[in-house]
Amino acid sequence: MKLGVNIDHVAVLREARRVNDPDILNALYVACANGADQITIHLREDRRHIQDADAYSIMKHSALPVNLECSINRSILNIVTDLKPHRATLVPEKREEVTTEGGLDVFTYEDEISYAIELLHDYIIPVSLFIDPSIEAVEKSKELGAEMVELHTGSFANIFAMLNSSLSHSNHSVKELELPRHELAIRLEKSISDITTAAKHAKKIGLEVAAGHGLNYHNVSHMMSIAEITELNIGQSIVAKSVFSGLAEAVKEMKRLTTR
């Protein structure tokens, strides 16, 4: 399994005080030295964490492939074509969201996504689409010309956390998932089944398969059991663990958990 370490949340901490501490390049070097297979960053339209200068610096100094997540906004795409990352992952984006809340709507925004893929391909940049785990979205991604899909695991992660952690007793409880435990267990099983089915279908029609969003040290084993998934992109949980263990140990532990 390839581990993509997303270092966005190091920049989140830096932007909280708007000083260059922690230095994003230090995070890059530590991740590279301790088991990451690629570096993932998200250049958002609102620049809430990764800045343009970060993206250029990371591309210049990374010894590992860089997976650049971005929206289909044309001004952002122009930066991506200049950066020429090893892969661009097209994701949905809303200014008011805390984090990405779902997969890219490959049906409503078919024309915009098609344009983005063609543009990126003109610059020899492979494209992955961040989608909800459904056969319909997988097939549409193939039709649009993507080489890869990344299955959104946010719903799975929320259900898992409500069932297996103290999330339901916190201020961040997911209200729509405040359900009896047996109901959560049924939903968790269905969520894993949906991801598995989508992954199998994607591989069958010739797409590479990644997964990501909300994955952590407690739930990642469920993704490891799906043979068709060959890459996981994980960030927040690694950076959160690094507060207590240090980033090097946090990356090493996640790499251990994601080694088949």
Which amino acid does the sequence have at 130?
F
* 42, 152, 201, 222: the active-site residue: 42
Q: Is 94 helix (H, G, I), strand (E, B) or coil?
A: coil
| pLDDT at residue number 94 | 73
* 9, 49, 201, 213: the active-site residue: 213
* 9, 69, 208, 231: the active-site residue: 69
| CB 59 within 8 Å of CB 72 | no
Q: Write out the two tokens for 98.
A: 């805390």
| CB 58 within 8 Å of CB 25 | yes
152 a catalytic residue: no
Whole-prediction pTM: 0.96
Where in the chain are the domains?
Answer: 2-257
86 a catalytic residue: no
Tens of pLDDT along the chain (260 residues)? Answer: 999 999 999 999 999 999 999 999 999 999 999 999 999 999 999 999 999 999 999 999 999 999 999 999 999 999 999 999 999 999 999 755 555 679 999 999 999 999 999 999 999 999 999 999 999 999 999 999 999 999 999 999 999 999 999 999 999 999 999 999 999 999 999 999 999 999 999 999 999 999 999 999 999 999 999 999 999 999 999 999 999 999 999 999 999 999 99
Does the 2-257 domain belong in CATH 3.20.20.70?
Answer: yes
| pLDDT at residue number 97 | 58
| pLDDT at residue number 96 | 58
In this structure, how many other beta carbons lie within 10 angstroms of the beta carbon of residue 254? 24
121 a catalytic residue: no
Cβ burial of 36 (10 Å; 0-12, 13-18, 19+) is: buried
Considering only CA atoms, which of 231, 199, 208 is closest in space to residue 64?
231
| pLDDT at residue number 247 | 98
